[in-house]
Chain A
Amino acid sequence: MASRVFAALVLVALAAVPLLAAALDQPFYVTLTTRILVFALAALGLNLVLGFGGLVSFGHAMYMGIGAYAVGILASHGVTSGWAHLAAALGVGALVALAVGAICLRTSGMAFIMITLAFAQMLYFLAVSLRDYGGDDGLPIQARSDFGLFTLDDPVVLYYTAFVLLLAVLFLFKRLIDARFGMVLRGCRTNERRMGALGFPTLRYKLVAYVISALVCVLAGVLLANLTRFVAPSYMAWTVSGELIVMTVLGGLGTLFGPVVGAAGLLLLEELLSSLKLGVPWLDQLLNQHWLGLIGLFIVLVVLVLKRGLYGVVVDRDRRRGGQA
């Protein structure tokens, strides 16, 4: 019970952010929280394969990059229709995910981690070499996606679009994980050979999960490009894939809502550390310049101490009390 109340409270708080920001006259909060929503969406996608499928993909930033570049490239050719952006992003994303997934899923364990990383690097270098689209320097986007009924130009509209998408994906994943498909996927995580012996074509199930999870990341990429009005190869740097994993684990691996908590936790901590003012000049300067090092130590600590993640702890407590997670 406690976990559901917690999740509901987080969602209500997220829904109220633009109103609060308007009341406090701090539009920056909307930008920061949109960023949280975007990364929550991506981490949610990753969690489908990482948490429920037990597949450690170290290359999911690649799909955010595909989404972002679809917007950037189409916009640079004067196509501003959001539907066209979405169609291109999801189409390309699905094709790439199918091909990459089909190759990667033949391996497992360490090799899977490395080969997903390799494909993400491949796409990263492809983006670097796209000189017509900014290459290494990245590509500014002149106009945001225009969906006819609404355009993402207004930060608040963009915020609620991301929020509604997040709710939709949460609902969809809830259904998906409890369905037969989710059972098979979780079965593969525990013992794939047994699932195979039961007659399930495990590779096909894992591939479908991989493609769905990639497409959620593509969506997050489309939103990210609209948020920053800029795309660059650094969106799919391998460190971003690492951060997505950190968010998922920080929130709670294999819990439905965990990635949202993890994304919010990590991004808020980054924001806090990089702008913290304690009133001690040398300490402030140290923190604000080298906060990434502290994040690194924080990640090590999370792995060593907080194995189940922030939200996972709450879920576990519910389970011990006999309630449903």
Chain B
Amino acid sequence: MTTGLFLTQLLNGLQLGVLLFLLASGLTLVFGIMNFVNLSHGSLYMMGAYFAAAAYNASDGSFAMAALAAVPGTLLLGLLVERVALSGLYRRDHLDQVLATFGLILFFNEVVRFVWGPASVYMNVPQALSGTVDLFGLAYPSYRFAIIAVGLAVGAALYLVIHRTRVGMLIRAGASNAEMVSALGVDIKGLNSVVFALGAALAGLAGLMAGPIVSVQSGMGEPILILTLVVIVTGGIGSIRGAFYGALIVGIVDTVGRAFLPTLLREFLERSVAQAVGPAIASMLIYLLMAVVLALRPQGLFPVRHG
């Protein structure tokens, strides 16, 4: 195990982490403010990736067109879904919300299979980012590096919006007491739509960024949705800070664990045992992490402070 390999895996983990953060921040805001569990967030990510890939292929490989289709497209789709199906569910209990959004997942999976067919759709990384960058003597793909940069930039922008602007102040106020905010004369329905649309746009952005490095196919939103849920529960539901650290922890633990745990176990266990157990434990690692966190701190690592 060389340092270079370890650093590469660490960066890969970071890259998965920021992708998860793009999804988790939207999901955790929606949950924090509207007390709404949105399982179909992964479907918005999938739709973002499909919009991007479709525009990319239609415009002969223009990544800018892909971005223009993916982010506003998902934003509009999010608004539509929120108004038509979900806004009636805010006052219902979590079970109804889980069920209805579960139904939406099945629906969207079939919609993409119907429109784009059952086979995967592909898009390439933009020409300018197809090379590698040199990080202290380590060659790392530029595109993956760009994902990290975009993720961190979005994180910083979100921090500024939420802590420095009027809308952000309302979002924070809504997260700690939505009824009081509406009693003060704020249009909470409009605020809900803004937050939902923002979350949807971030999911679309995640879909766009992930498009060139994964295969865009029906059902691609589900594995990452479950990872995202692990992130927000580990980080503390409703907390952006929790989503950020949670995403990085989950991304890095998952990637580094898968890469090195089987080799590491071989040091302690017999070869055959390690080969059988290693991958199993590696893929269970983040769920173990979440279980341990919840068992010790049911509120998550960085709970929202009310008061």
Contacts and interface: CB of A to CB of B under 8 A. Distances in A.
Nearest to A123: B284
Nearest to B236: A111
B102 A246 contact: yes
Contacts of A119: 287, 291
Contact of A58 (B98, B230, B283, B300): B98
Contacts of A103: 291, 294-295
Given A113-B94, A290-B114, A297-B107, A129 B280 contact: yes
A interface, by DSSP: helix, strand, loop or mixed?
Answer: helix
B37 A110 contact: yes
Contacts of B237: 110-111
The CB with the most chain A CB atoms within 10 A, among B85, B230, B237, B287, is that of B287
Nearest to A253: B95
Interface in A95-115: 103, 106-107, 109-111, 113-115
A295 interface: yes
Interface residues of B, number: 43
A298 to B, nearest CB: 7
A56 B298 contact: no
A188 B99 CA distance: 23
B100 A126 contact: no
Contacts of A168: none
Contacts of B95: 50, 56, 245, 249, 253
Interface string A104-148: 001101110111011101100110111110000000000000000
Interface string A248-266: 0100010000000000000
A34 to B, nearest CB: 24
B100 A300 contact: yes
Contact of A111 (B102, B107, B110, B233): B233
B96 A114 contact: no
Contact of A299 (B88, B103, B111, B294): B103
B104 A110 contact: no
A121 B89 CA distance: 27
A242 B290 CA distance: 21
B168 interface: no
A118 B113 contact: no
A55 B206 CA distance: 32
The CB with the most chain A CB atoms within 10 A, among B106, B287, B294, is that of B106
Interface string A294-308: 111111101110010
Interface of B: 31, 37, 85, 88-89, 92, 94-96, 98-100, 102-111, 113-114, 222, 226, 229-230, 233, 237, 276, 279-280, 283-284, 287-288, 290-291, 294-295, 298, 300
Given A296-B109, A307-B96, 15 more contacts: A50-B95, A58-B98, A113-B98, A114-B229, A115-B294, A118-B233, A238-B222, A238-B226, A242-B99, A242-B102, A289-B113, A297-B107, A298-B103, A302-B99, A303-B103
19 contacts: A103-B291, A106-B294, A106-B298, A113-B98, A114-B230, A114-B233, A117-B229, A118-B229, A118-B230, A121-B226, A129-B276, A249-B99, A253-B95, A293-B111, A293-B114, A295-B106, A296-B110, A297-B107, A302-B99
